[in-house]
Amino acid sequence: KSGDEKIKAQLSELKNIQQHLSQGRLLKKVNLTALARELVTEMNLLTIKPAIYIANIDDSDLSNNRYAIQVQQFSAQQQEPAVVICGKIQQEISQLDAETQLDFLKEWGIEELSLDQIVRAGYQVLDLITFFTANENEARAWTIPYGTTVHKAAGKIHTDFERGFIKAEVISSEDLLKLGSEKEVKQRGLMAIQGKDYIVEDGDIIFFRSQP
């Protein structure tokens, strides 16, 4: 009997889900019950997933393209990001070397490559951020969920860093780019010493201090 009741409850929720979909509603915008959310997750329904809206426009109509504006307006209503690209131009840019790419982007008034825009939008909808580590030999980017503590971020690099965590020296990548060197950032007093409960911010450059 308990099994029958469970099936009845699931069928009832599935009917509600079907009704929402038939009315054109995105399930991620519907206040679903815990059971309904469990069901739609199991079914892997697309309308429960976050989305990025991409408008691919013609190179002859880059400014104030009316279709791009409509996509941006719709995405704003859905509270999800939109990216406007010109696939033809981006394809041409991809075949150039890095230095020529920059000149081409400036000529067309394009701030960044489409792929970079799409990746950034993807991070936004998935609540992901990037922090950096660096030494004399290399710099590396690490992806973590928004709201991660610096203690847990240390474990992303190596479990020993998390286990032996002492402190983190943190500077902003914006400050580093603006001032040009780690030494200058330190001299300006812009390096912060953070404990394990510090919430990592997007673009942080972190120097972990840990014991063996």
Q: SS in 3 state form for the chain?
A: CHHHHHHHHHHHHHHHHHHHHHCCCCHHHCCCCHHHHHHHHHHCCHHHCCCCEEEECCCCCCCCCHHHHHHHHHHHHHCCCEEEECHHHHHHHHCCCHHHHHHHHHHHCCCCCHHHHHHHHHHHHCCEEEEEEECCCCEEEEEEECCCEHHHHHHHHCHHHHHCEEEEEEEEHHHHHHHCCHHHHHHCCCCEEECCCCECCCCEEEEEEECC
Flag the least confident range among 95-109, 118-132, 144-158.
95-109
pLDDT at 20: 93
Residue range 81-91: mean pLDDT, rounded: 89
Q: Is the pLDDT of residue 1 over 60?
A: no
Let me know: does 20 contact 47? Beta carbons within 8 Å: no
Average pLDDT over residues 154-183: 93
pLDDT the model gives residue 178: 92
Name the pTM for this structure: 0.75
CB 79 within 8 Å of CB 53: no
pLDDT at 31: 92
Lowest mean pLDDT among 88-92, 107-111, 176-180: 107-111
149 CB contacts (<8 Å, ≥6 apart)? 196, 197, 198, 199, 200
Q: Higher confidence at residue 1 or residue 154?
A: 154
Total residues found in the chain within this entry: 212
* Per-residue tokens: 173: 């990548």
Concatenated DSSP letters of 175-190: HHHHH-SHHHHHHTT-
DSSP 28: G
Please tell me the predicted confidence (pLDDT) of residue 61: 79
Cβ neighbours for 162, distance < 8 A, ≥ 6 positions apart: 151, 152, 154, 155
**Of all residues in the chain, what percent carry a pLDDT higher than 70?**
99
C-alpha distances out from residue 8 to 1, 68, 181, Å: 11, 45, 65
Q: How confident is the model at residue 2 (pLDDT cuts 50, 70, 90)?
A: low
Least confident of 7-11, 108-112, 134-138, 199-203: 108-112
